[in-house]
A and B are shown apart, each in its own frame.
Chain A
């Protein structure tokens, strides 16, 4: 089985722009979670989707949004980029609805905001 894939792997944007990141979960997985990783902050939970519905949301501003499609692929959008949004964005998938199932992470998208 192919693992979780994320595109693009690297991205450079400037302040004020918007960006869309994509995540394709493992085939058959229905839950996708997004995380932001920055030095000193660890992985911070952004949101989680299951069957096209956002079930959970972390403490991020409304500039961060996401969606999930019927094939379980997910996109994350950040509008009006700020310098502090520079980070590694990771997505993870699980097969079912239970978060105690093993999460499988993608390699991440490294975003640099100039």
Chain B
């Protein structure tokens, strides 16, 4: 049972435009959320996180939005750059803090 879902397996965006990656979760016990970026042949690298007490967290070109009532979070990348082309995973941790739950990933392609 997939508790964290990324329903778009792939996304293509023009360079300079906004990329929006979406993630839905089912477990109301999740209270900490993260986004990871993964290039081929490398392990995932941490990008940005958000606690459930916030609804937005911003770090440079990356902003994560959390809608707790909808159990939905999104990652916005503005402006998108070709180097952003990678697979993006969202992840959640429950308030018991015992493990990560990852989504299936969205492959982002930024077209120059």
Mark A residues whose CB is within 8 Å of B: 4, 33, 35, 40-45, 48, 55-56, 58, 90, 92, 98-100, 102-108
Smallest distance from the beta carbon of B44 to chain A beta carbons, Å? 5
Residues on B with beta carbons closer than 8 Å to the beta carbon of A92: 43-44
Interface pair B97/A44, CB less than 8 Å apart? no
Cβ-closest chain A residue relative to B46: A102
Mark B residues whose CB is within 8 Å of A: 2, 4, 6, 32, 36, 41-46, 49, 89, 91, 93, 97-105
Measured in the bound complex, the distance between the Cα atoms of B99 and A105 in whole Å is 15
With beta carbons under 8 angstroms apart, the residue of A44, A45, A90, A98 that contacts B44 is A90
Smallest distance from the beta carbon of B29 to chain A beta carbons, Å? 14
Cβ-closest chain B residue relative to A97: B97
